[in-house]
């Protein structure tokens, strides 16, 4: 599910390199990787100012270089905004980060995880966006 607007980034989650488009079945207690893609669709650079998770408090989402994504600067949109939500083409307007959490230890447990990201532009204006994904233990 995507919620976005022209002012805001949008996100997607994948686990094991598969896009979270519907419930994913995982083994109890297994590690689940949440990959967050933040794409700036505005016409100004923005800085990632916060990332919060409603299930796992204190999540640190790290880029491929191992840095906390907070403070990362995304360039102005490079033209993918017109492709619509869910379309990512890389570039300096996009960044990915990931974190790993354990699936519930019991069978048949459903967890819906929602991440909220806030970005801020040079004038201090902020925008937030939220995306959710669900896992169910088998």
| The only residue of 5, 30, 50, 89 in contact with Ca ion, by rule CB under 5 A | 89
Among positions 41, 95, 103, 133, the unique one binding Ca ion when judged by CB under 5 A: 41
Note whether 77 binds Ca ion by CB under 5 A: yes
Q: Is 27 in the site for Ca ion (CB under 5 A)?
A: no
DSSP state, 106?
A: S
Secondary structure (3-state) at 30: coil
CA 4 to chain centre: 12
What span, in angstroms and rounded, lies between the C-alpha atoms of 30 and 129? 28
- 45 forms part of the interface with Ca ion (CB under 5 A): no
Residue (22 or 82) nearer to Ca ion, CB? 82
- How far is Cα 56 from Cα 106, in angstroms, rounded to an integer? 17
Size of the site for Ca ion (CB under 5 A): 9
> How far apart, in whole angstroms, are the C-alpha atoms of residue 86 and residue 100?
22
Q: Which is nearer to Ca ion, 27 or 89 (CB)?
A: 89
Q: Residue 16's closest CA among 138, 135, 114?
A: 135
CB of 88 to Ca ion, least distance (A): 7
Contacts to Ca ion by CB under 5 A: 39, 41, 77-78, 80, 89, 91, 93-94
């Amino acid at each position: 599910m995507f919620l976005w607007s022209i002012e805001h980034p949008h996100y997607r989650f994948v686990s094991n390199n598969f896009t979270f488009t519907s419930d994913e079945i995982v083994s109890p207690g297994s590690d689940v990787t949440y990959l967050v893609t933040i794409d700036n669709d505005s016409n100004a650079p923005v800085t990632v100012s916060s990332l919060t998770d409603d299930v796992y408090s204190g999540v640190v989402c790290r880029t491929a270089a191992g840095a906390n994504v907070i403070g990362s600067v995304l360039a102005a949109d490079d033209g993918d905004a017109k492709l619509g939500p869910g379309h990512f083409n890389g570039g300096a307007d996009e960044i990915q980060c990931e974190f790993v959490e354990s699936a519930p230890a019991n069978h048949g447990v459903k967890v819906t995880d929602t991440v909220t990201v806030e970005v801020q532009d040079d004038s201090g204006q902020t925008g937030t966006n939220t995306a959710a994904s669900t896992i169910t233990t088998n």
